[in-house]
Structure 1
Amino acid sequence: MRKYLLILICSVSFFGFAQTEEENQEVRELTATVINAQSDFPLESVHVVNLNLVKGTITNQDGKFTIPAMVNDTLYFSYLGFKTQKVRVTNDMFRFGDTKIALTELAYALEEVIVRPYQLTGYLEIDVKNLPINDARQYSISGLPTSYEAGSKSPSAVTKVLGAILNPADLLRNLFGKKPRQMRKLRQIKEDDNIRDLLASKFDRETLTELLQLEKVDIEDILNNCNYSKSFIQTANDLQILDAISSCYEEYRVLNRKQ
């Protein structure tokens, strides 16, 4: 009897665990409020993007928003004059429904930056020795239009350079080939009006790098190898950059099928 009872308890526990796991994987409507971290006032027209499902929305006059999400999805918050923020979706956010997301004004965020001025003496030989050494190095290869920076900021630079040598076509195969799933997001992003509106107002590439999981240097490499001008790369907004990458990617796919 005890054996049957133990089996029954284990079965119920397993069923409950499986049900919880299944609930975690369901796409549900998540509602929360975005507030100013300093004043606790609600923030209107904050852009909210689910980076996993590639869905976007904006907050209403009460700071509230509703967006499709699953547990462990990442929400990306962007608002002019405020520091961008990423928040991981949890079960509690669905259960209680009164989650508040606080954004920090850039003026307060900048106060946390400590500036250490160099102690200059006015004597060139002494001041040169006191200045910090930049460990970043650039590799320039004959026949390639751009140089590549290595060092702590770009640890994969050597791989990119070698890839360019071994694959004369260009860096597109390396960049697109390594991120096929992320690059498929291009079409999803272009279909969401809220995300497009957000990208049209941005020039810093931060939202694009989050959505596509690419570094800024990768985006520049893609556009350089697709023959976009340096002026366009520097002055275009994020939506124009997205359209350029999308066009470039489609051309790459066509060429790749022919090879």
Structure 2
Amino acid sequence: MKKTLFLIICSTLSLTAVSQKHRKFFYATLQDEMGAVANAHVINLTTKQGTFTNDHGKFRILAIPNDTLKISFVGYETKKIVVAIHHFGIQENHIKLKKVPIELEEVELKKHDLTGFIALDSKHIKSEKEINAETLNLPFAGSRILTPAERRLHTAMTSSAGIPLDPLLNWMSGRLKKLKKLKAIEDTEKRVQNIRTNYRLYISNELSILQEDIERFIYFAEGADDFNSFYLNDEMSMIEFLQKKSIVFKKLNPKNYH
């Protein structure tokens, strides 16, 4: 009997230790008095991992009992929650945030002779001359700042001595080809980051792409033959393009998208 009891205690302690090591998803909905709070920041202070609430105020984050979650958003009181075992039950967790008034700094109004007409008032407004490369008439003033890959490629393709010897040597050694490839990779990552930043929530919520497939889908869309960089500056064109690509992506992955 004692031996059986000892084995039961050891098993319980072992299971507890394992459960403490393996974090599970903590699911919750964030709300205020009016409804869902979107884009709030949620961070697990124990693991230093964070996430954001979606358009419906929902989020998930890996945690175990006794982890502390910190929830913050501009205009709301920051809230901390200590995770408990019951948070992993079948009932959904609802968290409420309290709004706080934002105090603006006092603005001092001074007397002026302005009439309210821009054409007249602009003649009487004095402004200090801005000092920069353009006002100082420095060489290449106003030029776009090159990225690291663009700068290396530019250096490899030009010669300070006036004799185009360096570009020829770089071409013969294969360095020019390598730099062009690095520049292409940098451009790809810029486009991918643009899609990731501006359309991640849309891809997840509206196109119903699984969380584990979002990165793969973004690279799939950016690498498509009919992708056009113009879409990055036209939201409607990008949304239509992503919708079309999501249909193709789901057909290529029938096991995950029935």
* Greater C-alpha Rg: 2
TM-score of the pair, normalised by structure 2? 0.37
Structure with more relative contact order (C-alpha pairs < 8 Å, separation 6 or more)? 1
